[in-house]
Chains A and B, each alone.
Chain A
């Protein structure tokens, strides 16, 4: 029997402390996450110190996997490709999403249709859509993009088969695909900004641009921070969509990302231990970048 501490009255109610409540509230989620995420994660960590082809017994090799990793050219190349992907796709992706989210707020008719249109790429399966993009990026003169370029008297480009253009092409497809996701998250937040803020600002004489910077953008900061963190974590692990567009990893490995490299090692070359090491190196990189992001965001904005 606890006594209620705050306030003037003393009520004898059976309150649980914060910690006890937290324990109960966290239990369901943590149970699932522990068994199916955390535990396997540690198992994979253990595996990274072994050599294992999944069929014959594993044997311990210490840090050898990690050392081999750092001396493999393909590893560094795929890491570079991944950084390229992250650095380009995130600013463009988030910027465009915010732009469209603002446009898709209340105020005009047919909003449901427009929102559905923007969300459609996110929910469509890559397998069905890839063929269309392969036609858009087709390297001969009938591919849609080359066909358009023709009108501007520009030579047909090799797109997904050009070592230089392959990654940008893939980035375009992935931004297109993920736009809807980011837009919805921004919209969720935008919709909840009390319109009285804008009204009073308007009365004070602020124009739309000022309203955006002084009211909308600051209030969106937590959402932007959230999306930035999440998008970075997901972007570093991009693989499945790229695999559909360029199953061979791109010309001169141009679109082989770090997870693509991991997949090849684990499931095509049966090097599960080595693949686990790749996973953990990736993990540390993502962790460090997330921490840096958090620090930067803290210094720029007040919590």
Chain B
């Protein structure tokens, strides 16, 4: 039996080795400029990327883009660092703004200005926030690659069943009202389920008129009254009105509540659509985030960079590809199949995208909302800031002091329902605890800015 197994194995290996050789040979074509592109997309998103790169390679026979997936962003970051040190970088790579800022500092990148004759013209068809996001020291060191924003997913059927309009809520007040109605009409259902993420908090903060960082980049500003109020709004939804639930530190688990219909609304990335829509068994919609005092939607995702140590030929070929990828038609295709948002304004007008909007009507408003978008500060310090913020938010959500503050309020209210002072006391108490946590996070982060 061992012999049979051994023979089978050996046979299998030679087959696999042959296939390996074939794949290796495919990469070695003469007269082609070979471009290695490191990214971190896998699964269905990676598939779309591979298909688009295939299409480019077919239509541009003198260029050969070789995509190499690093599995996830952590690994991609480690690889980019390692290759920077060993000086064997690829030609193109996907990168976060914080990494790009570092690469710019280390003079590793080639700005795309080299290939753009008129930057002002080029700039026109891009959403300003997204375009500026790629400008460092006055030059265009990167270009948008996979941008997405958090959006509101909502259960149209549950809305209808509860007597609400199937148009989504637009303001904080609407949001609360919808949630209360859902919960009232269906005692086992919630209005909103969330994960208390940093991105959620940043959006609510900005919507409440707050800021993350001062304009000169020197002072942390998220530990403001607006921040405390924003976080309290979310806490109120659960502990005061009992119309929301949160899965703190539990990844994508919160989405399950929305998928099973336990909660009528959730906030998730526009890309989540690709993963959950097959499982949604009810009529659902997508909408832009809420409006508080202001509009505020965080634009996240990575950009694409070109490394300086590529040869001249490689640089030009890389630019061909990036240009092609950023064309309105291809951006529309990319957006339609992945849930990422098209970086080009004119993508909206393409036929391809018109079809997508027909299938997902909420998408139009979401994309138009990109002009109210904001991005995270582009410093590596923001990585630490996010981690500290995450701690602060988790602490607030799980805080025994806060939970008992709400408990006391509820019991005091029962015996003294008309007392206006009680709510004020609750607000003060909860916000002071939240502020304490935010202050700690701010202080820990501020140290790095010096």
* Interface positions of A (Cβ within 8 A of B): 53-56, 134, 138-139, 158, 160-163, 246-249, 251-253, 264, 267-270
Contacts and interface: CB of A to CB of B under 8 A. Distances in A.
B390 A54 contact: no
A228 to B, nearest CB: 33
A273 to B, nearest CB: 13
Contact of B84 (A54, A139, A161, A163): A54
Given A54-B81, A251-B394, A252-B395, A267 B74 contact: yes
B61 interface: no
A166 to B, nearest CB: 9
B249 A53 contact: no
Contact of B85 (A54, A139, A247): A54
B298 to A, nearest CB: 19
A268 B387 contact: yes
Nearest to B108: A55
Contact of B105 (A55, A253, A264): A55
Contacts of B105: 55-56
B383 A161 contact: no
Given A55-B102, A264-B387, A268-B387, A161 B248 contact: yes
B395 A246 contact: no
Contact of A158 (B106, B383, B384, B398): B398
Contacts, number: 62
Interface residues of B, dominant DSSP: helix
Interface of B: 74, 77-78, 81, 84-85, 102-103, 105-106, 108, 248-251, 253, 380, 383-384, 387, 390-391, 394-395, 398, 448
B81 A161 contact: no
Given A161-B394, A248-B249, A252-B395, 13 more contacts: A54-B81, A55-B103, A134-B253, A138-B253, A161-B250, A161-B398, A163-B398, A251-B248, A251-B249, A251-B394, A268-B77, A269-B384, A270-B102
Given A53-B102, A55-B105, A161-B248, A270 B398 contact: no
6 contacts: A56-B102, A161-B249, A161-B250, A252-B391, A268-B77, A270-B380
A55 B81 contact: yes
**Nearest 3 A/B pairs, CB to CB:** A55-B106, A54-B81, A55-B102
A252 B395 CA distance: 7
B97 to A, nearest CB: 14
Contact of A267 (B77, B103, B253): B77
A238 B152 CA distance: 39
B160 to A, nearest CB: 28
Given A56-B105, A161-B248, A270 B391 contact: no
A46 to B, nearest CB: 14
Given A134-B250, A270-B380, A56 B395 contact: no
A269 B81 contact: no
Interface centre among B85, B249, B253 (most CB of A within 10 A): B249
Nearest to A267: B78
A267 B81 contact: yes
Contact of B106 (A56, A247, A251, A264): A56
A251 B380 contact: no
Contacts of B394: 161, 248, 251-252
Nearest to A55: B106
B193 to A, nearest CB: 11
B32 to A, nearest CB: 31
Contacts of A252: 391, 394-395
Nearest to A250: B249
A246 B81 CA distance: 25
Contacts of A163: 398
A282 B85 CA distance: 25
Contacts of A161: 248-250, 394, 398
Nearest to B245: A140
B383 A269 contact: yes
Contact of A251 (B103, B384, B398): B398
Contacts of A134: 250, 253
B256 to A, nearest CB: 10
Contacts of A251: 248-249, 394-395, 398
B389 to A, nearest CB: 11
B390 A248 contact: yes
A270 B383 CA distance: 10
A270 B81 contact: yes
A271 to B, nearest CB: 10
Contacts of B78: 267
